[in-house]
Structure 1
Amino acid sequence: MRITYQYRLRLTQKQIDIFEHWLELCRRQYNYRLAERFNWWEQNRCDVNRCSIVCCSIAPLKDQPNRWSQQKDLANTKAIFPEYEELVSHTLQDVIARVNKTLTRWLKGDCNGKKSGRPRFKAKGRYRSLTFPDPIRPERIQGNFIKLPKIGLVKMIFHRPIPDGFKIKNAIVTRKTDGWYISLSLEDSTVPLLTPDVTPTHDNTVGIDMGLKSFLVTSDNQEVQIPQYYRKAEEKLKQLQRQLSRKKKGSKRRQKAIKRVAKLHLKVSNQRKDFHYKTALWLTSKYKFIAHEQLNILGLAKTRLAKSILDAGWGNFLNILNLKAANAGGAGLPQNPYKSSIECSDCGVEVPKTLSQRWHNCSCGASYCRDHNAARNIKHRAVGHPVLKCS
């Protein structure tokens, strides 16, 4: 089992300066290695795929740079630029691993075949994290301090202890708008992954319907109001962005204004994440299986409702919900939402309605809120309709 704990750091000014310098060195190395890959691609691609029998003047292809050749070349980098000797070797190697990962996702895609966009060079301040891939021994944590290589003891707010039996596999130091954080990746191979020991039934399963009027409605007709954190912060954000637009580029006042805008965005993000975790905990504490809609959020985000949909954060919530349900020994059950609002959850007959019609009335006598009816249909698709299944 693998989990991640994040702690806030309390750094001295000297430690902040060291971390800032290391981030800048990593940023330069990232851009250089990425440019090296792009240059090889531009210099060696050619539309001519055949050579003349008489003569051939095509130059031989250069060796394609890869992760291992670039890591081997780090010795030359340290010889030319001695300041790279200050960095931890594995931290520098992780920079090249990131370049390799982002290029692979662009050219080949991830494990699901989904491709990312063309990698971009990191502007100043855009490289924000340092990875220490080596396992950290337990004796390196001394009270509220953790000992990191080449920097020594670093103070952190140790708000929760590390569980017994878990080992620290790596640490990532991240710079955020409101300070510095360290994420510890913990692993215990003796803890098995929980698998559901029962099958979904009508008693241990709940269906949820995501919406914008309410964040979600369960099949038991319980409603969670949508908080709309971004909508509530829009007026304040508008004022801060207006102040930012008036500042001279490159000035210290502009940097302070940028930081104020970033802090407000971070606050909205933290509020939304806290709401998602609390809602997921509430659902997983009451039900073992949670059936939810399999939404095309990227497609929905291109409609007129894009701002409200992204403010609700459906995608992040469903990821958190599935993870928490699995950790609790249950599972999230994604279902096709097609006609879930039109079909009657009692008899299965389709009752056409427009988006403005918020109430479901069927000839069989069923009368439900539109979202409640959809949540019941989502549950029935996960475990089977109790009436139609018998007939």
Structure 2
Amino acid sequence: MNYTYRIYPDAAQQTQLLEWLEICRSVYNYALRELKDWIASRKCPLDRCSLEREYIIPADEPFPSYHRQQNNLPKAKKQFPHLGKVHSQVLQTTIRRLHDTWEAFQKRGHGFPRFKKFGQFKSFVFPQFKNNPINGSTVKLPKIGEVPINLHRPIPDGFKVKQVRVVSRVRGTQWYVVVTIESPVSVPDIPIHGRAIGIDLGLERFLTVSDGSFQERPKFFRSMHRKLKLLQRRAARKQKGSQNWEKAQTKVARMHHRIANRRKDFHLKTAHKLCDQAQTIFAEDLNVKGLARGILRKGCVDAAFGQFLSLTEWVCWKRGVYFAKVDPNGTSQTCPSCFATVHKGLEVREHHCPECGYRTHRDHAAAEMVLRRGLENVVAQGLWGRETACQVGLSGVYDLDKWRGAGIPNREVGKPALY
């Protein structure tokens, strides 16, 4: 598990941290340059060479793998003494970071590693600790010293600190540590149990539950857009590279950071509310990258559906709630009562089935369809265990839903479906 804490280094420590980030960036770019040169040298045709330039690397030169580049670090420190300022394991994890990106590129077939510009390298890792680096209100980082930390929640008993990642945010004015903790206790897979619900995500309503309750979408970016636009206009009028320009850019970055924090806080609180309502949750497996490129991309990026699904899955695992994703195709075009296909455009916000007469909100019908598909998947896979009194498949479930949602103001219950 990862715990994120805010740290408060002094001026000298901040200067040292920023210097480390730049050294790690240079090591990353140098290793990537070696990798690209070796690949480019193998692209030369056998019968001719380029008229402009060609990479001349011996044919017996091996591929610059992680272990080869890691073993070359001591030689590089002799040639470039400033590399010795950074902890040796931090430089090793920087090389590891490049090759993890390279291996991921080979698996998915796109996303070749890119060179990091000034300020784009924002974190480095201390991979191991002999003793617990957190002592009271400080965290001891090798070669940096003790740094004040806001330990808003203690490390649980039985957990050991494995690694610490130092993260720079808001243009190097705010610093955080991501502490990775580990326990030898094995956590079994969460079984399917209790009450099940399906959720549908949208832009009119951020979230609609199959029991009829829904959550309005807070427009984080749009609500702060006016002030952000003013700060960006002020920053554009400053001379680039000056101190006033840097101060204006920091204010813009702080505003973006505030918007992201508000959005994440809303996602976590909503995920916990869902876990309070049910013990089994089904959601749509949305193509978030496709939504971010469509005509409604600004609203989809502001809602951050991908982040919400990831956080919900994490919260469900932490609280012992079963979470699964289902196929989203046709959930809003299918009647959850009789499974008839009901075509409707995005402008139609009500579901009315001509076959069975079922009428409800469009998102509510889609959430019910998500629930049905989730239950069908778990039954087909043989994952369904014992049935409880609050099981969705049992009779009387809608009476239970009405009782549970009696205190929720944002609620809409349609005609009960026939099971």
- Alpha-carbon distance in 2 for matches of 1:248, 1:147: 39
Shift of 1:331: 2.1
Pick aligned residue for 2:346 from 333, 355, 359: 355
Structure 2: segments with no counterpart, 5+ residues: 49-56, 377-391, 396-416
Render the CA deviation track for 1:15-37: whole Å, top value 9, x for unaligned.
11111111111111111111111
- Alpha-carbon distance in 1 for matches of 2:45, 2:23: 37
Q: Is structure 2 residue 143 aligned with structure 1 residue 150?
A: yes
Pick aligned residue for 2:197 from 206, 211, 214: 206
Structure 1: segments with no counterpart, 5+ residues: 51-57
Identity within the alignment, %:
36
Q: Is the 8 A contact 2:337 2:418 kept in 1?
A: no
- The amino acid across from 1:376 in the alignment is E
1:40 corresponding residue in structure 2? 38
**What are the residue-to-residue correspondences of 1:181-330 with 2, within 5 Å?**
181-190=176-185, 192-199=186-193, 204-330=195-321
1:128 corresponding residue in structure 2? 122
Secondary structure in structure 1 of the residue aligned to 2:115: coil
Indicate the larger mover: 158-167 or 5-14. Answer: 5-14
- Alpha-carbon distance in 2 for matches of 1:174, 1:235: 29
Q: Is the 8 A contact 1:194 1:328 kept in 2?
A: no
Shift of 1:136: 4.8
Q: Is structure 2 residue 111 aligned with structure 1 residue 117?
A: yes
Indicate the larger mover: 155-164 or 115-124. Answer: 115-124
1:381 corresponding residue in structure 2? 373
Shift of 1:334: 1.2
Q: Is the 8 A contact 1:44 1:62 kept in 2?
A: no
- The amino acid across from 1:321 in the alignment is T
Task: Label 1:95 to 1:197 Cα distance change in 2 as closer, same or farther (>3 A).
Answer: closer
Render the CA deviation track for 1:173-213: whole Å, top value 9, x for unaligned.
111115111111000012x22423445xxx61101111100
Task: Label 1:116 to 1:184 Cα distance change in 2 as closer, same or farther (>3 A).
Answer: farther
Task: Label 1:274 to 1:390 Cα distance change in 2 as closer, same or farther (>3 A).
Answer: closer
Q: Is the 8 A contact 2:350 2:360 kept in 1?
A: yes
2:76 corresponding residue in structure 1? 77
Task: Label 1:40 to 1:219 Cα distance change in 2 as closer, same or farther (>3 A).
Answer: same
- Alpha-carbon distance in 2 for matches of 1:166, 1:195: 20
Task: Label 1:129 to 1:136 Cα distance change in 2 as closer, same or farther (>3 A).
Answer: farther
1:344 corresponding residue in structure 2? 335
Task: Report the number of matched residues.
Answer: 371
Render the CA deviation track for 1:83-141: whole Å, top value 9, x for unaligned.
222221111111111111122222x12xxxx3442222111111111210013523x43
Secondary structure in structure 2 of the residue aligned to 1:64: coil
Q: Is the 8 A contact 1:136 1:169 kept in 2?
A: no
Shift of 1:59: 5.8
Secondary structure in structure 1 of the residue aligned to 2:178: strand
- Alpha-carbon distance in 2 for matches of 1:87, 1:369: 59
Indicate the larger mover: 350-359 or 65-74. Answer: 350-359
Q: Is structure 2 residue 180 aligned with structure 1 residue 180?
A: no
- Alpha-carbon distance in 1 for matches of 2:10, 2:99: 34
| TM-score for the superposition, normalised by structure 1 | 0.89
Secondary structure in structure 2 of the residue aligned to 1:347: coil
Shift of 1:327: 2.3
Q: Is the 8 A contact 2:192 2:322 kept in 1?
A: no
- The amino acid across from 1:33 in the alignment is A
2:3 corresponding residue in structure 1? 5
Instruction: State the superposition RMSD in angstroms.
Output: 2.2
1:164 corresponding residue in structure 2? 157
Secondary structure in structure 2 of the residue aligned to 1:206: strand
Q: Is structure 2 residue 358 aligned with structure 1 residue 366?
A: yes
Q: Is the 8 A contact 1:244 1:257 kept in 2?
A: yes
Task: Label 1:353 to 1:141 Cα distance change in 2 as closer, same or farther (>3 A).
Answer: closer
Shift of 1:390: 9.6
Shift of 1:76: 1.1
- Alpha-carbon distance in 2 for matches of 1:20, 1:258: 17
Q: Is the 8 A contact 1:194 1:329 kept in 2?
A: no
Task: Label 1:390 to 1:210 Cα distance change in 2 as closer, same or farther (>3 A).
Answer: closer
Q: Is the 8 A contact 1:237 1:261 kept in 2?
A: yes
Q: Is the 8 A contact 1:194 1:326 kept in 2?
A: no
Pick aligned residue for 1:333 from 312, 324, 330: 324
- Alpha-carbon distance in 1 for matches of 2:337, 2:283: 19
Shift of 1:299: 1.7
- Alpha-carbon distance in 1 for matches of 2:6, 2:167: 10
- Alpha-carbon distance in 2 for matches of 1:125, 1:96: 18
Q: Is the 8 A contact 2:192 2:280 kept in 1?
A: no
- The amino acid across from 1:28 in the alignment is S
- Alpha-carbon distance in 1 for matches of 2:281, 2:146: 44
Q: Is the 8 A contact 2:282 2:374 kept in 1?
A: yes
- The amino acid across from 2:370 in the alignment is I
- Alpha-carbon distance in 1 for matches of 2:321, 2:58: 60
